[in-house]
Amino acid sequence: MAKGLGKGLNAFFTNVDKESEEIIEEIKLKEIRPNPYQPRKIFTKESIEELKQSILTHGILQPIIVRKSIKGYEIVVGERRYRAAKEANMQTMPVIIRDLSEQQMMELAILENLQREDLTPIEEGAAYQLLIEKLKITQEELAKRLGKSRPHIANHIRLLSLPAKVQEMIADGKLTMGHGRTLLGLKKKSLMDTVVEKVLKDSLNVRQLEQWIGQLNEKVPRETKKKENKDVFIQSHESSLRERFGTNVHIKKGKKKGKIEIEFFSNDDLERILDLLDQQKESI
């Protein structure tokens, strides 16, 4: 789950915290519509019902933020409160009207949601990707502006390259983000469904999945190749490097020399890894 921004909304806006200067108005619910840039795709019935009961008992304690549009008002922040108010059959609700451009509305909606802790890893990754595309910035620039590490940003975005079915399982909590990251390393993608079924059936943890995918990948290049039993020392360093670079890393020892293989999945992913290597050189 998302654990909140390090620097907050002020990393993007200089005037987002001005509720105290703005007027709260009562707007009819039928004039309000959801934000098309809402990163949260899952609104559980339980959370909406809980908020609905709170609204029926105490009213809406915090106004939502909207912007004026041709067809009424678009929600910038507060869609869950809006949904709960509809369930509670409210006719109006308190709002703060902001004068925002299309891009500002998108940015503010995404950033506000990223500060919460209930986004799924898939929703968080999609939010990062949308910010990168709309703001035309790199993963490194986004990481600095959010106070996050680049591997954190990259690891979430990489989940979006998984099959839609697997992404849905991660969003539903059937698979963890760790499972998703490990599945990305499966070389023979046609085995994805089989692997996922086994993970669910046998309740494999991430370490067990890593070992199994490692065995499957060993069979892909050379079927006749004798499997090498790696010692604990090598496995430990592979795990450490895998965590550092946010991708699969293989250490292979030969009789006279060895090699380290670092996998990447796109030019941007390669750039991310090279940046990490440059940072390591600068610290030596």
Task: Specify the pTM.
Answer: 0.59
Please count the residues of the chain.
Answer: 284
pLDDT at 139 over 70: yes
CA distance linking residue 164 with residue 269, whole number of Å: 20
Write the pLDDT tens digit of every residue in 144-187. Answer: 888 888 888 999 999 999 999 999 999 888 999 999 999 998 98
For residue 75, give every residue at least 6 positions away whose Cβ sits within 8 Å of its Cβ, in sequence order, or none.
32, 33, 34, 35, 38, 64, 65, 66, 82, 109
Where are the strands (E) in 14-103, listed by range? Answer: 24-28, 32-33, 64-69, 72-77, 92-97
pLDDT of residue 20: 44
Catalytic machinery residues: 79
What the block records as the tokens of 68 is 């004026």
